């Protein structure tokens, strides 16, 4: 019975897991940036560039002091893997719970009375930090493939 279950598991090697992790971080980052830019364009408030610049500064801090630690911890888990693993193993099960909480928080924020241009600062900060952090996954993937 266990052998049958193993055959049904969508198993891939660690390079695919690295690619999936990098693409997920990059894709979510792009989505957040698109939302933020659309809010800034929609409201066309004076000083939008100041809000966007503040978001970029936040992104640099979040990337360096927060997300890189998460990425490195995940890389430390993924890189020693041997053989094929479940395709969903590109992040830990605890991270799936965190993602669900973050999605719920994003929905609450988007439907809150907080003005969208101010939310754009947060979305730029998190989105750009995710894109910057995704580069580490993709860079490691390239070094793994060249070995």
The answer to which of 23-27, 89-93, 134-138 has the lowest mean pLDDT is 89-93
Summary count for the chain: helices (H), strands (E): 6, 2
Model pLDDT for residues 108-121, shown as the tens digit of each residue: 999 999 999 999 99
Model pLDDT for residues 8-62, shown as the tens digit of each residue: 678 899 999 999 999 999 999 999 999 999 999 887 777 888 999 999 999 999 9
Q: Is the pLDDT of residue 94 over 80?
A: yes
What's the rounded Cα separation, in Å, for the pair 1 and 11?
17
Task: Give this prediction's pTM.
Answer: 0.88
The pLDDT assigned to 136 comes to 96
């Amino acid at each position: 019975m266990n052998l049958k279950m193993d055959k049904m598991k969508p198993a891939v090697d660690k390079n695919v897991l690295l690619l999936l992790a990098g693409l997920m971080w990059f894709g979510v980052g792009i989505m957040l940036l698109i939302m933020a830019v659309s809010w800034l364009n929609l409201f066309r408030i004076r000083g939008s560039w100041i809000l966007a610049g503040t978001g970029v500064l936040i992104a640099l801090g979040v990337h360096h002091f927060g997300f890189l630690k998460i990425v490195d911890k995940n890389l430390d888990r993924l890189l020693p893997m041997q053989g094929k693993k479940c395709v969903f193993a590109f992040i830990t099960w605890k991270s799936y719970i965190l993602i669900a909480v973050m999605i719920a928080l994003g929905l609450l924020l988007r439907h809150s009375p907080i003005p969208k241009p101010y939310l754009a600062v947060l979305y730029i900060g998190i989105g750009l930090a995710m894109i910057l952090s995704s580069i580490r996954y993709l860079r490691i993937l390239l070094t793994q493939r060249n070995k």
